[in-house]
Amino acid sequence: HEHSSGEMRVWSRVLVVCFLCLCLVVGEVASLDPARPARGGVGVAPRRLKLAPLGSSGDGAQLPKYRVDLDQPPGVRWNDVMKDKRAAAHKTITSLFALLPEEVHTEVDKLVLHVEERLPVWAREEMQGIAAALNVTFGDILLVNFFFEITPFCTSVIARSSSTGHLYHARNLDFGFGMPSFSENLRDLAMDVEFIKGGEPAFMVTTFAGYVGAATGMRSGVFSVTVNEREMTGPLPIPNLLKGVLNLFNAILTTDAYPVTWATREALEDDASTFNSVVKMFSERSLATQIYLIIGGASEGDGVVLTRDHNSLLDAWKMDAASGEWFLVQTNYDHWLPMPIWDNRRKPAEKALSKVGADAILPSSIYSNVLSLDPILNQLTVYSTIMSCAEGKYESFLRKCEGCSPI
């Protein structure tokens, strides 16, 4: 009986946190209003943006690059990064928590007491170290990490060049829900991280300081991956906020499900990973949120988009260059359904890729003629990343387009 009442108290707290977070975010979704006119297609020529000088904070500047040594204890391996990004991290956390009712902080701190030991050791200790470096609570860092887990609006592209034979994997990451102020803050936290193991480069990720998961990453010669949020499609613009928050808290209260960006980080870190083993793992593993996983590889034919529900694979959309399907575009909606009229980034991206052509597709043309095209590039786009797994090339750029569509 005591066990049942204890469980009831924990789940009551989960529901309180979910309700408060839902009220917060739904209040910010003005940009998803279907009454807003549909954004323009690709009738206008794509902007060909020049890269800003290295070190510039303008659109097109290369993201700063840091190294994280996996041979260091998890609790200290992010110290150098957080020392450099301390002011930006505090600004972002403060602005986020200023919108959250005090009850959220209180309930999260209580939940942490119940779930801390359920977290994987590496994630728990890394977040504890980050919290110590920033002089905030572990519950604060956990909430920030889970907030990032459910909010990446994105456009991901995988395309195979007929001239080079290489597959190029690219993405624009948009911080969604109509909160441009957070997009601005996150630009100061965005970075490329090269993880080192045994003194040698192991893998790359593009991430935010304070976030331990991996939504964009590559293990050279093995696989590249981007994670896109999966939104509800249909006549009304209702995002999967409540389901996402419930599933995330369920993930830390049970052993049944797992945050997808933590699973991605572990796959990148695993020396035994192959393209096929990663596709199999993400096809079968129980995940905390419904999601799209866009996975590229180093060999011909290595390209797939996985559509995942909480605990099952719904669709595996494979690239078939031999049959003319030399690229795949995934945004935040099921590819077999019509795109919502208020957010159709996929069609402009597909038309732009077709216009470039398989013989001319290169990282430079993807950046200039696809990722820099409105509305693929929009006011919420924080960064663009372009990867070539076979060549071991990885580049990320800050994006800032105040005159673009608001998404």
Catalytic machinery residues? 154
**Integer Cα distance of 126 and 141 in angstroms:** 10
Q: Which long-range contacts (CB under 8 A, 24 or more apart) does 252-257 make?
A: 252/111, 252/115, 252/118, 252/119, 253/10, 253/11, 253/14, 253/114, 253/115, 253/118, 254/118, 255/118, 256/286, 256/311, 257/286, 257/287, 257/288, 257/310, 257/311
375: cis peptide before it, omega within 30°?
A: yes
Q: Please enumerate in sequence order all residues whose Cβ is within 8 A of that of 101, keeping only pairs 6 or more positions apart, or say none.
A: 20, 24
The owner of tokens 């020049």 is: 50
The span from the CA of 381 to the CA of 401, in Å, is 8
DSSP 37: P
Residue 287 DSSP one-character state: B
For 353, residues 6+ apart whose C-beta sits below 8 A from its C-beta are: 157, 159, 327, 329, 361, 370
Please name the amino acid found at residue 247: N
Distance CA 381, CA 400 (A): 7
Q: How many Å is the Cα radius of gyration of the chain?
A: 20
Q: Which of 140, 113, 114, 111 is nearest to 128 (CA)?
A: 140
For residues 399 and 181, is the Cβ–Cβ distance under 8 A? no
